[in-house]
Amino acid sequence: QHLAADCGMALAFVLVSGELDRLRRCSAPDCRRAFIDLSRNRSRRYCDSRTCGNRLHVAAYRARRRESEEATPGG
């Protein structure tokens, strides 16, 4: 009950302060979490950069690496 009350108060604060644009949804296609972007320049994209963000960055790196290996003759 205490956690629910804290979350409700935090959400109410975001709404009342006019910072509704800080309420976002994770950009990872397989994640449905919502979060509040508290970064200074409002650029946060993932609910957790260590899980969702890192997983997508690693997948993109591996895809680029595969493409470069396929483009290399004799590779």
Give, as one character, the DSSP assignment of residue 22.
G
2-71 placed in CATH 1.10.3300.10: yes
What does pTM read for this prediction? Answer: 0.66
pLDDT digit string, tens, across residues 41-57: 999 999 998 899 999 99
pLDDT digit string, tens, across residues 6-41: 888 888 888 898 888 889 999 999 999 999 888 899
Q: What does the alpha-carbon distance between residue 51 and residue 58 come to, in Å, rounded to a whole number?
A: 11
- Domain edges within the chain: 2-71
Q: What does the alpha-carbon distance between residue 53 and residue 11 come to, in Å, rounded to a whole number?
A: 24
